[in-house]
Structure 1
Amino acid sequence: MTGTDVRKDAQDSGPSGYAAARLRLLTEGARSGPPRRAALAELTDDWLTGLFTAAAEGLRGVSLVAVGGYGRGELSPRSDLDLLLLHDGGDTKAVAALADRIWYPVWDLGLALDHSVRTPSEARKTAGDDLKVQLGLLDARHLAGDLGLTSAMRTAVLADWRNQAPKRLPELQELCAERAARHGELQYLLEPDLKEARGGLRDATALRAVAASWLADAPREGLADARRRLLDVRDALHLATGRATDRLALQEQDQVAADLGLLDADTLLRQVYEAARVISYASDVTWREVGRVLRSRAVRPRLRAMLGGKPVTERSPLAEGVVEQDGEVVLARAARPERDPVLPLRAAAAAAQAGLPLSLHAVRRLSATVRPLPTPWPAEAREQLVTLLGSGRPTVDVWEALEAEGLITRLLPDWERVRCRPQRNAVHVWTVDRHLIETAVRASELTRRVGRPDLLLVAALLHDIGKGWPGDHSVAGEIIAKDVAARIGFDRADAAVLSALVRHHLLLIETATRRDLEDPATVRAVADAVGTPSTLELLHALTEADALATGPAAWSSWRGNLVTDLVKRVAAVLAGDAPDEPEPAATAEQERLAIEAFRTGGPVLALRAQAEPATDEEPPGAPEPLGVELLIAVPDQPGVLPAAAGVLAVHRLTVRTAELRALRLPDDVDDGSVLLLNWRVAAEYGSLPQAARLRADLVRALDGSLDVAGRLAERDAAYPRRRGWVAPPPRVTVAPAASRHATVIEVRAQDAPGLLFRIGTALEKAGVRVRSMHVSTLGSNAVDAFYVTTGTGAQLPAEDAGSLARALEETLRA
């Protein structure tokens, strides 16, 4: 039977005919999805039109209007019928009688009905008082009666909505936020509400309302398909349960998946999550645009008046090729994504560090034009990934923006298997992919506890990557992590550590809670698996981050104490006295610079560019340098470290690695020493300064004529600290028994301009001598070790060392 035949039977047979035709339509196996919803809406339109026509004979100035979901033609099997009986205020008794003759047949069939009887002015007033009523009227669709009455009302309601948009849209945004707080995020819930949860059908309707305001519009790509997918699932849910429910309960998921022809319930949930992500991301972008437009309307006229009518465009540099504009991170005008494959990661890291969103236009341009990264990745790409992962809570939104345009799976192809993958475990509150990002967020808070925060953050990102494969996810993940580590440019030793962390990421928590820690065999087994103290340190932090990211039930003080106890026991097994590493011999160039510095009595500088080797995939031409090796030789004297670090900070040079050591001169030259600084630096943005200028400023800094602290303070005042993620506080500790000849002070802090200058100044004021230092910047984290002695070259007494560490930490916290 065709759809035309069904509608004819419904019209000919009255309510019973409609009910029979409706039942046949819903049980037709060949019809589902949009065709069935459209046919059901047409069938219902015809039946209600017949009821209205028969009951309203001779009555003028009345119309029947479908509103809300019915107005949009989105009738699921158990959907409410949202109807408005509109009249011109004439014969109210006749209108009331007409309403009864329409409403009662609907109720008699057991259909849910949301109805109202109003004049156009009453409809507009109610809409002005009740946002939900206004949203329903935006989708008003004429069914029967006076078309002019319906059209006039619809035109007036739309005009009101557009005129009142600056007031009503913030109200609508607040309504969406309140609903999300009550119902959670659809893209992560095991039993989601398809309509009310964030990213559900209500949000899709809100986006339509924003578009109707003409103030802003949602990104359209994929939005219609996402809405259709959720409606299809709701249809199947209504048929499976026989109820008007929007909650996709666990016990219904297998049947719903089967009705939709899907492999299993996990496939169903993954499709639901993917649709929800599209709607959620579109909502984020749209509300951000609404806020920008409203702020612009309020502020720009005044600014233009002050500037004589000139347009206002504020762009602040964040990184090479990346700027901030209107509260978003956009690409600089000179940026060339097609020639800069690191740009997506650099832009993402800059956005997360600044706590700003990536603009939709920027992400789409990157997705459309950027070239793939070579394998292995250049060092800058790896560092930018680590910086992004270490930026805390803002990482989530930036990551989602990259993922929405397909950039994540292009950077990390193995991500596709865990993307939107549900976890059928009541302990887990996130999908696998979001859990991995959440673990990185948690790990960013623990970076001060480990010597290699870059390995911790990447391990956090990859620890469950094996869940997309059959078998033990830790075993599968070990193989994937090793491959990913090599692809993104870690050396073999680091790749081995990362794969071990992924393989054993459950080892500590499972052993601590399931085994007898008093049994020496238990501790020895963990020590054998972990291998080294540094890996144990990383595994301890990863265990805590993983548990905290899983959900409230996965971590407690009791579990934390058990794990800490186990780690202490394993560390004791792994501990041993190791001889000090011999001082590395000076190269011929270093010795030459040292002799020249001693003879001239001043600093000597040498710059040597370091670049990644070109690959077959690179275009012709020299590769872009990732940094510059800076060698500085200075006659041994106080204040060298803060002077050199301060000059580099003044010139906006980022210190990626740094070493300082005293170099004895050859006996045939003189019985003296020269301080040798071997640093790798890079410009924050723009080009590198000339070596001659660096040397001139270093001379001035050493003789006191250059006020480094004042210059840095001026720059900080001109560029105030950006809003965004609050970094964990710095941590300064004394490493016990780390050296036989010096006291080792370890500093772990958020990397920032002038950080090394502040540390050097504080050590100088404390009256200690820096015998050597080893500085590294891992993503956004500085991990520094300073070997200090007294003025006579002896180790610091334990009490003095502790006081120095506490004073330095207080200085960095200020």
Structure 2
Amino acid sequence: MTSTDQPSEYAAARARLLAEPGLGGVARRTALSRLADDWLASLYAAAGAPSGTALVAVGGYGRGELSPRSDLDVVLLHSGPIDPALPERIWYPVWDGGAALDHAVRTPAEARAVAAEDLKAQLGLLDARHLAGDPELTAGLRSQVLADWRATAPKRLPELRRSCLERAERHGELSFLLEPDLKEARGGLRDVVALNAIAASWLADAPRDGLEAAAARLADVRDALHLTTGRATERLALQEQDQVAARLGVLDADILLRQVYEAARTISYAGDVTWRSVERVLAARSGRGRRVSRLAFPFTGVGRGSGAVARGVVDRRPLAEGVVEQDGEAVLAQGARPGQDPVLALRAAAAAAQAGLTVGYATVRRLAAEARPLPVPWPDEAREQLITLLGAGEAAIPVWEAYEAEGLITRLLPDWERVRCRPQRNAVHRWTVDRHLIETAVKAAAMTRRVARPDLLLVAALLHDIGKGWPGDHSEAGEVIVRDVAARMGFDKTDTDTLALLVRHHLTLVDTATRRDPDDPATVDLITKVVGTLPHLELLHALTEADATATGPAAWSGWRASLVRGLAERAAERLAGGSSYPADAEPTAEEERLAVEAGRTGGPALTLLAQTQQDSFATEPMGVELTLALPDQPGLLGTVAGVLALHRLTVRSAGLRELDPVGAGPVLLLSWTVAAEYGELPEGARLRADLRRALDGSLDVARKLAERDAAAPRRRGIATPPPVVSVAPGGASSSATVLEVRAHDAPGLLHRIGRALDAAGVRVRTAHVSTLGADAVDAFYVTDPAGRPLTAERAREVAVAVQAALG
């Protein structure tokens, strides 16, 4: 064929390839690349190119990944002077054939100089592939470019990272967009190029499981988009999605989007893992980080998070039982056994999120491979750890994404599979269904101080749209599903009913407020009949706001917020009255025995009863029932709580009340459930001895805690809602003033509260302490020294003092 008929023959051959039935995907892209290779080689030969020149494919064409409308990216290399008309003799037939061409003419030195200044050009040259001419010229350039890239990686990789972040900011996250850019959005094909460039630097490599398949899926969708539109577009617009799905043999556009989203998440997660590895390597090279061996090979399963000890790794700080912080990530402790500890996966996730960390890649992989299913119903600790994870707010998202990438979320919550990656074809929604649920939980985490049951708020936020994807009204379907999920999680009937109510009516408050007359008494009646109680109303109000703010700006405005708030306030007035805290039960025989002993001896009397998980995997006690009787004295609550904190015991729940068993003066009875932060539980004799020393003044608890805190390394942690200390309405108790404290749980929290109450000069007559996930919800029934309720002014002063003590 002559140079004049080549363009038409190439176009015809290309058209036949695109129309060939059964040819698609990688095979078609490879065939298109080979066809272009042969054509350009013939043009190069027909142009009479002399020795010392070479035609080189770069970029996507260099990788052999030609889509139907891709550009032909080529460089004409030359080692010396060439005929100025030579390039035109090659380029003009390409233009005549209607092919898109991106071209350059350079010496190897010029190509390297351009690459040194232009990151995009350097990335393109990393994929250089010889087409025609002098192969040694191409090989030499490729070798030099790779050497340059590896030598300058500490400088160029941060530049590449910035460009990825800027691109994500401009184009958004492919995983959640209704009209995603398949190439430029975060998780798109451009990120795959970046990951390959990182691998070429030899500093780190991406986790490869599923990555090639994900990239191929996005490329297949782009090919179908090009054929459908006849244009070189990267944006999968709504009006083309059905045709693209049909061309790919996919049932409908929703399934197509789910496949796109799943691929994008695989790529995004690989990017997150890889960039963290790059950051560690560069920090170690610059002396800013700890030296850790095997950094160039972080995905071998040895060292980080695998339970093995890599040479040079010495800094491992405990986070929770079986979980430590190492090199800025949460990993498994050396003795951790996922196969014997079914709660370990949730404990690691919660500990990581609360510390503002993510879980190491190798650790997540090991948990996915070895963790045993949770028993049904879940152990109490598993439920608490899930709530603690959700309560971490924004910090929970990267942990959740890592677990979802390895299939751990659907293993914990099988119903999650139906909402995973499910698109929402509504312009109001910013997210897919599953991400919207997590975002709602994040918003709810900032509202936990507004409700008496933050645990139920967080779980309801996570599950409120779980019915989407099922036939019928998603709220009705969700109510059925959440009853089953709540029972599997181990919630009792009362809490399960509450969760079902919240899911069934999560739209009722906003719909009623915006569609009914707010001044009509029947409107308030409708809401009070739905919720039934004031605590339910508080939960529904917070869930409504969290749901709307997580949906997107169009779903929540100042006008809507004021309507919902006004309706909730009027309903609250109708429902107000009474205390939500339970009355004290009659003392048991053991509690009476301890009270008599304490009254007779004047010292502490206690029992420690180990409480194990009710399943075959239990290897250690999950907590201890601590019953303690002591003669009443000032500062007792803070002192006892401080001793427990010194022994690294966290208070899960606690009750405090007065008894007078022998008529010799009041005895305080404390019935607490405590658990070890990590490690083993203390011996009862040692705990009893420290309590005696603290009570007689020979052990300065506050000083010891301060010394320990000062010596401990500072951990970044997470931002949490500020504590709220309030005075309950007068009807809460007729004989005492009730102070309600809602705060983020932390070591020594109850100690600080007790010291603040003691410093305020009030007596704690009764206390109800609950730790729900990472939130403490406490009520203290206090009186003045004479045993009378506080005046309103005095109660406000005490509340302010306690809040100040909590910071």
Q: TM-score under structure 2 normalisation? A: 0.96
TM-aligned CA distance change 1:642 to 1:423, over 3 Å: same
Is 1:88–2:82 an aligned residue pair? Answer: no
Is 1:794–2:788 an aligned residue pair? Answer: yes
Deviation at 1:703, TM superposition (A): 2.0
Residues 53, 134 of structure 2: 8 Å contact kept: yes
Is 1:36–2:28 an aligned residue pair? Answer: yes
What's the CA shift string for 1:657-704, capped at 9, x where partnerless? 001000121xxx325221000000011011111111111111121222
Paired with 2:514 and 2:274, the residues of 1 have a C-alpha distance of 47
Tell me which of 628, 637, 640 is aligned to 1:641. 637
Deviation at 1:584, TM superposition (A): 1.9
Residues 578, 732 of structure 2: 8 Å contact kept: no
Tell me which of 3, 18, 32 is aligned to 1:26. 18
Paired with 1:571 and 1:721, the residues of 2 have a C-alpha distance of 43
Deviation at 1:43, TM superposition (A): 0.6
Tell me what 2:414 maps to. 413
Residues 204, 277 of structure 2: 8 Å contact kept: yes
TM-aligned CA distance change 1:373 to 1:10, over 3 Å: farther
TM-aligned CA distance change 1:741 to 1:10, over 3 Å: farther
Give SS of 2:68's match: coil
TM-aligned CA distance change 1:708 to 1:174, over 3 Å: same
TM-aligned CA distance change 1:231 to 1:127, over 3 Å: same
Tell me what 1:62 maps to. 53
Paired with 2:233 and 2:770, the residues of 1 have a C-alpha distance of 56
Is 1:188–2:176 an aligned residue pair? Answer: yes
Deviation at 1:107, TM superposition (A): 1.4
Is 1:137–2:125 an aligned residue pair? Answer: yes
Give SS of 1:786's match: strand
Residues 748, 784 of structure 1: 8 Å contact kept: yes
Q: Write the letter of the residue equivalent to 2:146.
A: L
Tell me what 1:232 maps to. 220
Residues 123, 197 of structure 2: 8 Å contact kept: yes
Paired with 2:545 and 2:2, the residues of 1 have a C-alpha distance of 63
Tell me what 2:513 maps to. 512
Deviation at 1:14, TM superposition (A): 1.1
TM-aligned CA distance change 1:114 to 1:448, over 3 Å: same
Deviation at 1:106, TM superposition (A): 1.3
Deviation at 1:601, TM superposition (A): 0.6
Residues 10, 43 of structure 1: 8 Å contact kept: no
Paired with 2:715 and 2:288, the residues of 1 have a C-alpha distance of 22
Paired with 2:457 and 2:664, the residues of 1 have a C-alpha distance of 45
Tell me what 1:650 maps to. 646
TM-aligned CA distance change 1:608 to 1:203, over 3 Å: same
Tell me what 1:749 maps to. 743
Residues 377, 487 of structure 1: 8 Å contact kept: yes
Tell me which of 672, 691, 694 is aligned to 1:701. 694
Deviation at 1:298, TM superposition (A): 2.4
Tell me what 2:241 maps to. 253
Q: Write the letter of the residue equivalent to 2:256.
A: L
Deviation at 1:709, TM superposition (A): 1.2
What's the CA shift string for 1:277-304, capped at 9, x where partnerless? 0000000000000011111222289979
Is 1:712–2:708 an aligned residue pair? Answer: no
Tell me what 2:776 maps to. 782
Q: What runs of 5+ residues in structure 1 fail to find an aligned partner?
A: 1-8, 305-309
Q: Which moved more, 1:769-778 or 1:550-559?
A: 550-559
What's the CA shift string for 1:162-202, capped at 9, x where partnerless? 11111111111111011111111000111111100000000
Q: Write the letter of the residue equivalent to 1:163.
A: A
Give SS of 2:358's match: coil
Deviation at 1:13, TM superposition (A): 4.9
Tell me which of 701, 724, 733 is aligned to 1:731. 724
Q: Write the letter of the residue equivalent to 2:757.
A: L
What's the CA shift string for 1:342-392, capped at 9, x where partnerless? 010000001101111111100000000110000000011100000000001
Q: Write the letter of the residue equivalent to 2:282.
A: L
Deviation at 1:311, TM superposition (A): 3.1
1:380-779 aligned within 5 A: 380-576=381-577, 583-614=584-615, 618=616, 624-665=620-661, 669-736=662-729, 737-779=731-773
Q: Write the letter of the residue equivalent to 1:697.
A: D
Tell me what 1:3 maps to. none
Q: Write the letter of the residue equivalent to 1:761.
A: R
What's the CA shift string for 1:500-559, capped at 9, x where partnerless? 100000111111111111122221111111111111111111111111111111112221
Residues 10, 21 of structure 1: 8 Å contact kept: no
Tell me what 1:296 maps to. 284
TM-aligned CA distance change 1:53 to 1:251, over 3 Å: same
Give SS of 1:385's match: helix
Give SS of 2:415's match: helix
Paired with 1:485 and 1:560, the residues of 2 have a C-alpha distance of 29
Residues 191, 249 of structure 1: 8 Å contact kept: yes
Q: TM-score under structure 1 normalisation? A: 0.95
Q: Write the letter of the residue equivalent to 2:38.
A: D
Q: Which moved more, 1:199-208 or 1:564-573?
A: 564-573
TM-aligned CA distance change 1:137 to 1:522, over 3 Å: same
1:105-254 aligned within 5 A: 105-254=93-242
Give SS of 1:773's match: strand
TM-aligned CA distance change 1:202 to 1:538, over 3 Å: same
Q: What runs of 5+ residues in structure 2 fail to find an aligned partner?
A: 293-310
Deviation at 1:109, TM superposition (A): 2.2
Deviation at 1:580, TM superposition (A): 9.4
Q: Which moved more, 1:790-799 or 1:133-142?
A: 790-799
Give SS of 2:37's match: helix
**Structure 1 runs of 4+ with >6 Å offset:** 9-12, 300-304, 578-581
Residues 37, 73 of structure 1: 8 Å contact kept: yes
Give SS of 2:732's match: coil
Q: Write the letter of the residue equivalent to 2:343.
A: V
Aligned-pair identity in percent equals 69
Give SS of 1:655's match: strand
Deviation at 1:573, TM superposition (A): 2.5
Residues 438, 462 of structure 2: 8 Å contact kept: yes
Deviation at 1:725, TM superposition (A): 2.0
What's the CA shift string for 1:195-252, capped at 9, x where partnerless? 0000000000000000011110000000000000000000011111111110111111
TM-aligned CA distance change 1:31 to 1:148, over 3 Å: same
Q: Write the letter of the residue equivalent to 1:739.
A: S
Paired with 1:406 and 1:580, the residues of 2 have a C-alpha distance of 40
Tell me what 2:345 maps to. 344
Q: What is the CA RMSD across the aligned residues, in angstroms?
A: 1.7
What's the CA shift string for 1:404-447, capped at 9, x where partnerless? 00000000000000000111111110111011001111111000
Q: Write the letter of the residue equivalent to 2:743.
A: A
TM-aligned CA distance change 1:330 to 1:581, over 3 Å: closer
